[in-house]
Amino acid sequence: MEDPLVSTDWLERHLDDPTVRVIEIVAWPESRDYEDGHIPGAIRWLWKDALWHDTDREFPTPAEMAERLGAAGIRESDTIVLYGELIQFATYALWVLTMTGHPDVRLLEGSRRKWVAERRPLEVDVPVVEPVAYRTQRGDLSSRLGRDDVRAHLGSPDRVLLDVRSPEEYAGERVGMSATGDHGAERYGRIPGAQHLFFRELLEEDDRFKPEAELRSILASRGVSAEDDRETVVYCRLSHRATLAWFAMRFVLGFEDVRVYDGSWTEWGSIVGFPIER
């Protein structure tokens, strides 16, 4: 990728470029944001349908993602630009698409919030999609790890474990952020030894990432820096917020050794016998 974070100016200039394909990542089936007005030419992807395996709590293989992208009229040579009402769902989609091997996938700076605030064009017409052939790409799962790896390295001096949930979730007062319910795990708390960094601390009000110097300072206060040779592992509840922190560290700041525990608290907080800290 040349630059995985693209500006609203850049995207508006490329709206008529047939090799730039825009996808709005939708968090909930009942959401009407896309129908009320979306970036011209954007298609709508519900995150679970597009980014998970059809039945398993697993990601699609590169071959399965090739079928989904081809069905959406996207070629392997196209540039994909992602955005959403909630920016963390767009970073999650970018993470999955990089793991399944799409060569050029990017994030819209400020996502939907900044685009709308700047009164840039929106449309309600749903674009007509013509399926195309998409050649399967080589996947790369190096940015992902699982629960057994996390448990095996608890307390390791070579790893920083970063919990980017809300302060209430980290403190063990809630298991989710939603005001309409509190669900997502059987137990409350955090993974032992995890440092806390609420993911919104990395963003401005309009969903832009904060300046690089400020991001470095925030992360350094939690023991994460480019000069440190320790690995950083990020988690939240379902790993959306974790991918936002991963994106900031990996692509905004250029940190090399950052990985996402995608099972996150939904998995860890429900496993029999796994330790919890409160």
Active site residues: 236
Cβ neighbours of residue 273 closer than 8 Å, sequence gap 6 or more: none
Measured CA to CA in angstroms, residue 177 lies from 29, 146, 166, 205, 213 at distances of: 18, 23, 7, 18, 28
Order of strands across the sheet with 105-108? 5-6, 105-108, 79-83, 20-26, 43-46
Task: For 154, list phi and psi in degrees, rounded to 5.
Answer: -60, 130
Which one-letter amino acid corresponds to residue 68? R
Whose structure tokens read 């936002």? 244
Task: For 74, list phi and psi in degrees, rounded to 5.
Answer: -105, 135
Which one-letter amino acid corresponds to residue 162? L
**159-163/231-235 β-pairing:** parallel
